[in-house]
Amino acid sequence: MIAFIIRRLVILPVIILGVTLITYAMFSLLSPAEQLAAYVSSPTQLHGGTAAVERLIHTYGLDRPIWERYLNWLDNIFHGKLGWSTYANMWVSQAIAAYFPATLELAIYSFIPVIIVGIWLGVLSAVKQNTIIDHLTRIMAILGWGFPSFVLAIFLILIFFGILGWFPPGRLSTWADLVVSNLTSFHFIRYTGLNTIDGILNWRWDITWNAFRHLVGPVFTISFLEWAILLRVMRASMLEVLRQDYVRTARAKGLPERVVIKKHARRNALISAVTVGGLLVLGFFTGGAITETVYNYRGLGYFFVFSATQLDSAAIMGTALVISGGVVLTNLIVDVLYAIIDPRVRLE
Partner 1 sequence: MWRHLNLRWIVGAALLLLIATAGGAVSAAQNQVKNPDTLIEATIGGPETLDPAWGYDTASGEVIQNVYDTLIFPKADSASEFVPMLSTNVPSVADGTISKDGLTYTFHIRQGVKFQNGDDLTPFTVKYSFERDLIQDRAGGPIWILLDPILNVGTWDSFVAGVAKKMGVADQYAKDLKAFDPTKPGTYTATMKQVDQKAFNEMAGHFQIKGNDFIVRLAKPAAYFLSTLVGNWGSIVDWTWVTSKGVGGWNGGAATWRFFHNPKAEQSKLFSEMNGTGPYKLASWDRVNKKVILVRNDHYWRTSAAVKTAIIEGIDEFSTRFLLFQKGDADMIYVPRQNVGQVDPLVAELCTPKAGGPDFTMPANRDKCQATGNKNATLRLFKDLGENLNQGVYFQYDINPTSKYIGSGKMDGQGVPPEFFSDINVRKGFAYAFQYKTYIQQAWLGEAVQPTGPIPASLPFNNPENPIYFYSMNDAKAEFQMAWGGTGHIVAGPNGVLDSAQVLTEDDVIKGDTIQPGPDGVLETSALGDDQIVVDKTGELWNKGFDLTLLYNTGNAQRKTATQIFQKNIQNLNPKFSITIQSEAWPQYLKDLIAGNLTMFVIGWLEDFHDPHDWVVPLMASYGAFSGFQGKTLLDYAKAHWDALINSASVELNKAKRQADYNKLQLWYFEQAPSVVTVQALGRHYEQLWVKGWFYNPLYPGQYFYNMSK
Partner 2 sequence: MKFIKPHRRTHLRTARPKPQGVFTSRASAYRLRQFQDYLARRRRGLRWLSQRVRRSPLAIIGLVLVLFFSFVALAAPWLAPPPSGARNPYMIPRASFRPYPEPPESAAWRSFPPDWHKHPLGLTGDQYDIYYGIIWGTRTAFRVGFEVTFSIVFVGVLLGALAGFFGKRIDNLIMRVVDIFLSLPALIGAIVLVSFMGKGLNSVIIAFIVFGWPFYARLTRGEVLRVKEVDYVNAARASGASNLRIIFRHILPNAISPVVAAATLDIGSQMVGVATLSFLGLGSPEGYADWGQLASFARNWIVGSAGDPTQYWYVIAFPGIALLLFVLSFALLGDAFQEILDPRMRGEGR
Residues that bind partner 2 (CB under 8 A): 11, 14-15, 18-19, 22-23, 26-27, 29-30, 34, 129-130, 135, 138-139, 142-143, 145-151, 154-155, 157-158, 162-163, 236, 239-240, 242-243, 282-283, 285-286, 289-290, 293-294, 304-305, 308-309, 311, 313, 316-317, 320, 323-325, 327-328, 331
Report the residue number, 12 or 197, with the smaller CB distance to partner 2.
Answer: 12
Supply angle C-alpha 281, 306, 286, rounded to 5.
Answer: 20
Q: How far apart are CA 225 and CA 80, in angstroms?
A: 33
**By the rule CB under 8 A, 52 interacts with partner 1:** yes
Q: Which of 282, 311, 329, 337 binds partner 1 (CB under 8 A)?
A: 311
Q: Which helix (H) or strand (E) holds 84?
A: strand 84-85
Distance spanning both ends of the chain, measured CA to CA: 9
Report the residue number, 292 or 335, with the smaller CB distance to partner 1.
Answer: 292
**By the rule CB under 8 A, 156 interacts with partner 1:** no
Q: How far apart are CA 295 and CA 317, in angstroms?
A: 23
* Residue 100 interface partner, choices partner 1, partner 2, none, CB cut-off 5-8 Å depending on type: none
* Residue 22 interface partner, choices partner 1, partner 2, none, CB cut-off 5-8 Å depending on type: partner 2
**By the rule CB under 8 A, 2 interacts with partner 1:** no
Tell me how far, at minimum, the Cβ of 272 lies from partner 2, in Å. Answer: 10
Q: Which of 1, 10, 50, 344 binds partner 1 (CB under 8 A)?
A: 50
Q: How far apart are CA 175 and CA 42, in angstroms?
A: 35
Report the residue number, 220 or 331, with the smaller CB distance to partner 1.
Answer: 220
Give the range of 15-23, 197-205, 209-217, 327-335 binding partner 1 by CB under 8 A.
Answer: 209-217
Tell me how far, at minimum, the Cβ of 320 lies from partner 2, in Å. Answer: 5
Which of positions 59-118 make contact with partner 1 (CB under 8 A)? 59-60, 84, 86, 88-91, 95, 98-99, 116-117
Under DSSP, is residue 148 helix (H, G, I), strand (E, B) or coil? Answer: coil
Q: How far apart are CA 78 and CA 74, in angstroms?
A: 6
What are the angstrom distances between the C-alpha of 186 and each of 173, 176, 182, 194, 207?
A: 16, 11, 7, 18, 12
Q: Which helix (H) or strand (E) holds 144?
A: helix 132-146
- What angle separates helix 300-309 from helix 92-127, to the nearest 10 degrees? 120
What are the angstrom distances between the C-alpha of 20 and each of 141, 241, 273?
A: 35, 41, 31
Q: How far apart are CA 243 and CA 247, in angstroms?
A: 7
What residues contact residue 335 under an 8 Å CB cut-off, 6+ apart?
A: 8
**By the rule CB under 8 A, 209 interacts with partner 1:** yes
Contacting residues toward partner 1, per CB under 8 A: 30-31, 33-53, 55-56, 58-60, 84, 86, 88-91, 95, 98-99, 116-117, 120, 124, 157, 161, 164-170, 173-175, 177-178, 181, 183, 209, 213, 216, 258, 262, 296, 298, 306, 309-311
